[in-house]
Amino acid sequence: MTISKTASGKAAFPYTIEKRLQIEYLLSATALSQNKQSDGSDVVWGLTQTPKTLPPRYFYDDRGSQLFEQICELPEYYPTRTEAAILQRFAAEIAQLTGACEIVELGSGSSTKTRILLDAYNKLGYPLRYVPIDVSAGILESSAKELLADYPSLVVRALVSTYELALERLEGSRLATRMICFLGSTLGNLNREECDLFLSQIANALNVGEYFLLGIDLEKSEYLLNAAYNDSQGVTAAFNLNMLEHLNWRFDGNFDPAQFEHWAFYNKSESQIEMHLRSVRSHTVQLRALDLTVEFEKGETIFTEISRKFDLNSMQKELQGHGLVPLQVWTDPNQWFGVLLCQMQKTKSVSVTA
């Protein structure tokens, strides 16, 4: 695509939305289906372990996605609004540090935070090029079209893919450099081994001098953490229990959510919130499509999710170990959340701004 320039040097795109949007499938429909393990083999494996587990992806049917959006608006759930406030305050500084760059985002969601970054780059007159990555083509297309309608100079190349495959196959940036974004403290859903592998994949995807923008939830009082995952309105509990309804629909099951209770707590030794579904009595569940019968004892749990909380100094050392050197670290006044801008280079001093 040829990019024209105005007299001021700003990029101009007198094209329709369709001409500014490219959706590329790195995975075929068959591969996507296999990646999602639609055969339920992950469910069978998890429910036959001790302790029992379920993959967090089963949170997200339509109802689960709606509930998660509600969680993000809860007064007790600080991460979303705190990270957004940090970006609002420091997005201009991020744009100044990177200069014009292609923004690659792993999981864009409703693109609220993406807009904060795009506004900052747009205000500086930089060309806007955005590469969102997700396994859902529908989400990618709808969110991209909303962005393209609001940013006339934006060009979007959406990748329908897992993060891992997309990072392996990223093309060279059409701009001077690129910045991979991983916001929302999604990193906290990975255990230590998965986190180490993920950071290696990020480092391998970046050329020397390119950037990585990371948002992480920080360690804080157990009271605040427990309240965030045990909200007074019971939305998080409904979100957790809805996983059982999703399994019923998908695999012809007879889970009775009334026979389970939401159990979330902060595991201080592991610095992580753990979410479980706890059986309130002994009973039997069948998932007929999987030919699976599962026995539950009273008090037995299904482990559904972790949300790790990070120490800034430790995380900076871990990033440096992968060649991702923090250029700048921003926090909120309470130091509840951190946003780190890293660069693939050998050494750089680090400062913290609250």
DSSP, residue by residue, 59-95? G-SHHHHHHHHHHHTSTT--HHHHHHHHHHHHHHHHH
Peptide bond preceding 51: is omega within 30 degrees of 0, i.e. cis? yes
* pLDDT digit string, tens, across residues 235-284: 999 999 999 999 999 999 999 999 999 999 999 999 999 999 999 999 99
The CA distance from 53 to 198, in Å, is: 22
b/e string for 3-41 if b means 16 or more Cβ within 10 A? eeeeeeeebebeeeeeebbeeeebbeeeebeeeeeeebe
Poorest-pLDDT segment among 29-38, 236-245, 298-307, 344-353? 29-38
The CA distance from 153 to 3, in Å, is: 10
CA-based nearest residue to 308, from 200, 193, 212, 187 = 187
Poorest-pLDDT segment among 17-21, 73-77, 248-252, 272-276? 17-21
Type of residue numbered 271:
S
Asked if pLDDT for residue 84 goes beyond 70, the answer is yes
CA-based nearest residue to 102, from 10, 4, 210 = 210
Q: Which residue has the higher pLDDT, 174 or 307?
A: 307
* pLDDT digit string, tens, across residues 27-50: 655 455 555 556 899 999 999 999
Strands 154-160 vs 301-308: parallel, antiparallel or unpaired: unpaired
The CA distance from 93 to 114, in Å, is: 15
Poorest-pLDDT segment among 129-138, 201-210, 222-231, 288-297? 129-138
pLDDT for res 4: 36
Poorest-pLDDT segment among 38-42, 47-51, 71-75, 76-80? 38-42
Average pLDDT of 317-329?
97
pLDDT for res 110: 67
pTM metric for this prediction: 0.87
Please answer whether residues 236 and 243 qualify as being in contact, where contact means their C-beta atoms are separated by less than 8 angstroms.
no
Asked if pLDDT for residue 3 goes beyond 80, the answer is no
